[in-house]
Amino acid sequence: MLFNSFAFLLVFLPVALALHWLVERFRPEYRLPLLLVLSFLFYGYWDWRFAPLLAASILVNWLVAQAFLQTRRELLITLALAANLLLLGVFKYFNFFAGLAVLIPGVAAPKWDVALPLGISFFTFHHVMYLVDLKAGRAPCYDLMRYALYIAFFPQVLAGPLVRWSEIMHQLDERPYKRPDAAERFARGLMLLTVGLAKKVFISDPLAEYVNPVFEQAATGGIVTVAEAWQATLGFTFQIYFDFSGYTDMALGIALMLGIVLPQNFDKPYTATSLQDFWRRWHMTLSRFLRDYLYIPLGGSRNGLAVQVGALFITMALGGLWHGAGLTFVAWGVAHGIGLGAGVLWRRAGLRMPDPAGWALTLLFVIFTWVLFRAPSFDAALRIYEGLIGLVPLGNGFKWQLIAVAAAIACLGPTAWAAVRAVPPWRPIAVGVAAALVAILFHIGDAANIEFIYFQF
C-alpha cells in the first residue's frame, strides 16, 4: 500500500485516523494495540506471507532481550545480532554472494529466487539498535506490545526513518489529543503529508521520465549523448532526493497526526560544503546509525589516523552494500569512503577551502557517484560517464526545466519540516493546503503510482 495510492489516502489513512481518535478519546488503554494492529494490516497488505516473518522477528528478539535481562549472558545478544544479520543476508544477499562465488573456477552456487520482504533492512536495524543498547546498559526493558510497535509502526516500517528507541518509546504513553497544541500538531502533520506527496507526484515521478529511458538505453549498450547523460544524471540527483525526502515528510506527517514525533532525515544536503557535511544532512538517521553502531566500534576517530580512515572506508563500503545487493552499490559506498578519508587527510593537514569551492566540489562528487548508485551495471555506468565527460556526440534536446525547478527548491528553499513549523495558523494557508491536496489526488488519479526508490532497499 503506497503512501501515494488511493487505497492508502482515501481508505486506510482516514479509517486509521478515525479509529485512533475514537480510541484515544474513549478507550486510551487500547491505543497501542490499535496502532499495532493497523501496522500489521498495513505491512501485510503488500504480501500477507511477510507479516508472520515480521511478527516472528519481533517475538524472538523480544524473548532474547528478556532472557538477557534475567541471565546477563552477553552471548545471547551476540547470537541474536548474528541471527538478525544472517536473516537479512539470506533474503537480501544470497544471490549476490552466489553470483560472486560462481566467478571462482570450479565453484557452482545455487540461485534462490525469493521475494525480498519489504522493510527488512529497516526493521533489522531497529532490532540491532535496541539490542546493542540493551547490552550496553543504555536501553531499559519494554513489554512486548511497546517493543512490537517500536519495530512495526507503520509510518516508518518500510523505509524509515531509523528511529532510536529513546526517541519514540516515551511518546507511546502520552495522550496526544489531550495536549493543548493537539489540533495544531495534527494540522502540521497533514501539511507535511501534503508537501511530501507534492514532492513525489509533481517532481520525483516526472523526473523519472528524464532518467529511466537514458539509463535503460545505457544498460542495453546504446550510446548515450552528452545531453542525455547530463539530463539523466542531474535528473536522478534530484529525483532520489525528492522521492526519499518526500517519503520521509509523509512518514513524519502521518506519525505526527497519530501523536508521534519522528526524527528528521534530510537537511538540505545539496547545500553541503564538504562530503562530511553532506552525510550529516543526507539520510541523517542512517548516517548516525552507521556512525554509532559501525564506525565507532571499528575504531572511530580516537585511535589514530590509519584506524579512522580504515573505519570510514569499511563503514561506507558496507553502507553501500546495505543499499543494494550489487557491486555498483559497493563501488558507490567505496567512493564515498575514499572521499571521506580524503577529507580527513585534508583537515589533518590543516588545509582550508572556501565554502563556494567546497560546495561545488562536493556537489560534483555526489552527482558523479549517483551514476554508480543508479546504473544497473558497470557497463551502463561507463556509458553514462562517457557522456558526462564528453567522449560521445553532444546530442540535443536536453530537458532542463524541471531539473532547474527541483534544484532551486532543494538548494534555496527551506526543508519541509522547517517550512511547516514556521507557517502560522492562518485560514488562507489551510485552504491552500487543502486545494493542493485535492490537486494531488486528481493527479494521482490520472497517473500510475510509482513505487518509492528506497522500497527496494
Residues annotated catalytic, as ranges: 323
Contacts 24+ apart (CB under 8 A), 3-6: 3/196, 3/197, 3/200, 3/247, 3/250, 3/251, 3/254, 3/452, 4/197, 4/200, 4/201, 4/250, 4/444, 4/449, 4/450, 5/444, 5/449, 6/441, 6/444, 6/445
Distance CA 246, CA 442 (A): 18
Contact 283, 156 (CB under 8 A): no
Contacts 24+ apart (CB under 8 A), 322-330: 322/121, 322/457, 323/373, 323/457, 324/456, 324/457, 325/92, 325/93, 325/95, 325/96, 326/96, 326/376, 327/378, 328/372, 328/373, 328/375, 328/376, 328/377, 328/378, 328/381, 329/372, 329/373
Distance CA 258, CA 16 (A): 9
Q: Which three cell numbers stand for residue 288?
A: 548516525
Q: Which three cell numbers stand for residue 184?
A: 495544531
